[in-house]
Structure 1
Amino acid sequence: MRIGIIGLGVIAPYFLRAIEQDGELDLTAACDLDRAKLDRLPDGPELFTDYRELLGSGLVDGVVITLPNHLHAPVVAAALEAGVDVCCEKPLTVHSSDARELAAVADRTGRTLFTAFHRRYNSHVQRLAAELPPRELIERVVGRYHEKIEEHTGDDHWYLDRDRCGGGCVIDNGPNALDALRQVVGELTLTDATIGDVRGGVEFYAELELRTEDGIPVTVELDWALPTGETKDIVVHLKDGSTLVADMLAGYQGFKSSLDHEYQGIMADFRAAVAAGPGRTDDGPVVVDLVEQAYRIGRSKERRLRMPAKQDVSAKLVKLLFHRRDDRGMTQSPWATRCIRAGEVHELVTTTDRPTAPGDRVDAVGFLGFAEFATATVLEQGDQLWLDERLVGEVVGFDECHFPNHYNVLIHTDRLLTAEDLDLRAGDLVVFKERA
């Protein structure tokens, strides 16, 4: 089979070695905009700087595409339309609509569309899939894909460009983690996603929550900011407390040395898919759907993990209160957040009640006192109140019975607390911190 490669970035060497080691593949053409990269290739393949010229050359039966993510859709479509089978590095596309369109083009042209998910060929992932116990014994599954991204991208700076990559760790590491988990536990449905540690519009951390078709909870942790080393594994937690682990890097001592056998698996599987002819359904669009759903949920949230959205703010107690009541009759405000101006004074009230809806009555209360806020801030449900190194409680809402004079800031505590319980003195400082 005559193979061409389009794109000679950081991942291309693994494809090139796999092609060289496969006795049934012949590298006949290569394309990159950077002529210096082309000149570093060994003699043999015809060299191009325009992928359209490569596709029209008649030199290839199939192509490997390892371009920045935003270029996958147009280049894959052009290859399929040219009658060339395609192996595309994950993710297949940035957007689900493009992935579905490529699947339709492959059907119409009768060509093979194949997304390269290299971790499905990892020896430890395959072993775990083969040895998985009966599903009723599984409590939950966790997949971790942690690394320091700068160690893996070389000169390919597009990974950190949202317009070219489509995002960060969710679209880069996410497809491999999700596909590997699908090989072990089957189809997945996304239930929640939270992103964080955003730098230049690109997330360096994310947590995805999914479920299998039979309800097993699956968590995916993605991290681009590991200080050193890397962690890539799947941990199956069983109901008896034991675990089964597929450490994708175990036994592969060199940096990224696990990739060679995986990319060999890609090329062998691609060759087999082409030989089998039309009818194969590519998994690329399914994973693109999961990634797009994760961004839709994660980007709609106000919260970003590992990123404080506001500064801590201190408040000085200007009047202490020492009483408690179990019939106060405060009312939960409909507002989850309140803006506080610098110099304003508000009343701090502890409660063991748990108001959850506007209008909920709050009766069990303890009074800490009135506090003057040093700087402007936004107080919101979930903020934590600290006294020195002690966590006092968490803001659950506001009562406005004395507004506009002041708010009663309702702070949930395990037991009712007053100024005397905390040994407060006039002039003491308390600090409101964003929930971690």
Structure 2
Amino acid sequence: MRYGIIGLGAIAPFFLEAVERCPDSTLAGVCDLDSAKTEPLAKQGTPAFTDYRDLLAAGVCDAVIITLPNHAHAEAAIAALEAGVAVCCEKPLAVGSAEANRMAAAAERTGMTLFTAFHRRYNRHLTDLREALPEDRSQISQVTIRYHENILEHIGGDRWYLDAERCGGGCLIDNGPNALDMAHVLVGSLTLTGTRLSDIRSGIEYVAELDLVSADGVPVRVELDWALTTGETKDVVVQLVDGTVLRADMLEGFTAFKSSLRHEYDGILADFRSQVAAQRASCGTGIEIVGLVEEAYALGRKEAGHRRSKLPTLTRLVRLLFHTSESRGMTLSEWGTRCISKGEIHELVTTTDRPRTPGDRIDAVGFLGFVEFQEGTVIALGDEVKLADDRLIGTVAGFDECHFPNHYNIIIESDRLWTADSAGVEPLDEVRFAEL
């Protein structure tokens, strides 16, 4: 099989290595907008492209592996299917059911294979756990899946993971598909019963908790977390009615970072090749998982609209500031939340930069002023900041500590650089912080 790989980001190396290990497989082409990523492979003789349509038109591939940002999966996959090329698409298949259904329709129309790559389903510990489960699933009282990590340790230079528009969300759409597919492997089709999204940062959830039930009535709990300080936990706990507890740690025995992925991505290619050989157009559980994630977002956002974890916080401007800078050189601190006591005074700094990672430099800034907090609170990433007339200044992107312990600079991500002049505020005017 001649493979082309579209997108050479953080996931691509695992596919590249798997293709190299796979018998009767050849890397026939690579594609990325960044020619610096394709150049090393081009020097080894692999045809390189910056437009996937040119790769498809070259006719060098029997199949393509798509590892693009999530929002770009559908168009690239449909183009490949219509070119008579089988598609192995990194999870999630798409960011929503409408796009996933378009992809599936193209697969049915062309008769080409459309395959979703859920790598954790091939983990040997999960396979062993599935074999150890009682055939009568009613003997299972609870399944709990944990997928916890520090997302910044996993994305390399792929900043799109932290962009809600390109990723489609946060941990729910990134880690959720693998965790949900693991549950599907163990107990079959699932129905969502509850969702909680929290630790919202610039519109992206870093924590999500899902409750589901299988067709056989088995309760399933999925816990997702992008916000570990360091390290990762990827495991499954199955409790049986008789009190027996069965476990599978996806990382057990794999001491090097991401080393478990080697055998998992080998499993992806083996399964994909078997689907192509059988001339199956179906994308398996890919569409079902997209639907569950979409439903979880809808339910989670609805619940968030009715249940807040904190009350809005009132502050009053005690000193106005009027200047901007394009080279301020502030630094995003490591803290995602800060506890504030009543009466504390902190500085509000707006920015059009998009700081995401601790240590990111913040240069383009506008100074709004110093505010006094009228009650104790916790300020968190993603909190909305509004003026008394309900104008939105922006959302909290984090904190800079260059003046601490005197005060924090509360960094507010916005579409413009606000100052006291441009905001039209006066001393004692209100500024409110509210959970998004």
TM-score by length of 2: 0.70
Distance 1:178 1:306 in 2: 26
Mapping 1:275-424, distance limit 5 Å:
275-302=277-304, 308-310=310-312
- Tell me what 1:364 maps to: none
2:59 maps to a residue whose letter is: G
Would you say 1:25 and 2:25 are equivalent positions?
A: yes
- Tell me what 1:270 maps to: 272
| Structure-2 change in CA distance of 1:277 and 1:84 (3 Å) | same
- Tell me what 2:109 maps to: 108
Report how far residue 240 of structure 1 moved.
2.9
1:229 maps to a residue whose letter is: G
- Tell me what 2:333 maps to: none
Mapping 1:67-146, distance limit 5 Å:
67-133=68-134, 134-146=136-148
Identity %: 57
- Tell me what 2:184 maps to: 182
- Tell me what 1:315 maps to: none
2:280 maps to a residue whose letter is: P
Computed over aligned residues only, the root mean square deviation of the Cα atoms, in angstroms, reads 2.2
Would you say 1:10 and 2:10 are equivalent positions?
A: yes
1:294 maps to a residue whose letter is: A
> Residue 176 of structure 1: SS of its match in structure 2?
helix
Report how far residue 24 of structure 1 moved.
1.6
The answer to whether the Cα contact below 8 Å between 1:197 and 1:304 also exists between their aligned partners in 2 is: no
1:130 maps to a residue whose letter is: E
Distance 2:90 2:229 in 1: 27
Distance 1:80 1:100 in 2: 14
- Tell me what 1:170 maps to: 172
Distance 1:90 1:305 in 2: 31
- Tell me what 1:418 maps to: none
The answer to whether the Cα contact below 8 Å between 1:209 and 1:217 also exists between their aligned partners in 2 is: yes
1:92 maps to a residue whose letter is: L
Unaligned runs of 5+ in 1: 313-373, 378-436
| Structure-2 change in CA distance of 1:306 and 1:221 (3 Å) | farther
1:132 maps to a residue whose letter is: L
Distance 1:147 1:63 in 2: 29
2:73 maps to a residue whose letter is: H
Residues 103-157 of structure 1: CA deviation (Å, up to 9, x unaligned): 1110000100000000000001111111102323211110100000000001000
The answer to whether the Cα contact below 8 Å between 1:196 and 1:305 also exists between their aligned partners in 2 is: no
Residues 181-232 of structure 1: CA deviation (Å, up to 9, x unaligned): 1011111111111100000100000000000101111000000001221100
The answer to whether the Cα contact below 8 Å between 1:205 and 1:305 also exists between their aligned partners in 2 is: no
Report how far residue 305 of structure 1 moved.
9.5
> Residue 275 of structure 2: SS of its match in structure 1?
helix
Distance 1:307 1:58 in 2: 55
Distance 1:37 1:294 in 2: 35
The answer to whether the Cα contact below 8 Å between 1:106 and 1:112 also exists between their aligned partners in 2 is: yes
The answer to whether the Cα contact below 8 Å between 2:113 and 2:283 also exists between their aligned partners in 1 is: no
Mapping 1:28-67, distance limit 5 Å:
28-41=28-41, 43-67=44-68
| Structure-2 change in CA distance of 1:126 and 1:55 (3 Å) | same
Distance 1:177 1:245 in 2: 15
Count of paired positions = 318
The answer to whether the Cα contact below 8 Å between 1:128 and 1:245 also exists between their aligned partners in 2 is: yes
Report how far residue 40 of structure 1 moved.
2.3
Report how far residue 306 of structure 1 moved.
10
Mapping 1:142-221, distance limit 5 Å:
142-221=144-223
> Residue 223 of structure 2: SS of its match in structure 1?
strand
- Tell me what 1:251 maps to: 253
Distance 1:70 1:307 in 2: 30
> Residue 230 of structure 1: SS of its match in structure 2?
strand
Report how far residue 310 of structure 1 moved.
4.1
Distance 1:234 1:148 in 2: 19
Distance 1:309 1:141 in 2: 34
1:185 maps to a residue whose letter is: V
Report how far residue 303 of structure 1 moved.
6.2
The answer to whether the Cα contact below 8 Å between 1:195 and 1:304 also exists between their aligned partners in 2 is: no
Report how far residue 241 of structure 1 moved.
2.7
The answer to whether the Cα contact below 8 Å between 2:107 and 2:282 also exists between their aligned partners in 1 is: no
The answer to whether the Cα contact below 8 Å between 1:194 and 1:304 also exists between their aligned partners in 2 is: no
Distance 2:167 2:283 in 1: 25
Distance 2:283 2:154 in 1: 30
The answer to whether the Cα contact below 8 Å between 1:143 and 1:221 also exists between their aligned partners in 2 is: yes
1:162 maps to a residue whose letter is: A
| Structure-2 change in CA distance of 1:151 and 1:375 (3 Å) | closer
Distance 2:309 2:227 in 1: 13
Report how far residue 239 of structure 1 moved.
2.2
Distance 2:376 2:284 in 1: 54
| Structure-2 change in CA distance of 1:90 and 1:249 (3 Å) | same
Report how far residue 67 of structure 1 moved.
0.2
- Tell me what 1:369 maps to: none
> Residue 153 of structure 1: SS of its match in structure 2?
coil
TM-score by length of 1: 0.70
Report how far residue 298 of structure 1 moved.
0.4
| Structure-2 change in CA distance of 1:271 and 1:300 (3 Å) | same
Structure showing greater Rg:
1
> Residue 154 of structure 1: SS of its match in structure 2?
coil
Report how far residue 174 of structure 1 moved.
0.1
> Residue 217 of structure 2: SS of its match in structure 1?
coil
Report how far residue 304 of structure 1 moved.
9.7
Moved more, 179-188 or 278-287: 278-287
Distance 1:264 1:307 in 2: 43
The answer to whether the Cα contact below 8 Å between 1:69 and 1:93 also exists between their aligned partners in 2 is: yes
| Structure-2 change in CA distance of 1:131 and 1:304 (3 Å) | farther
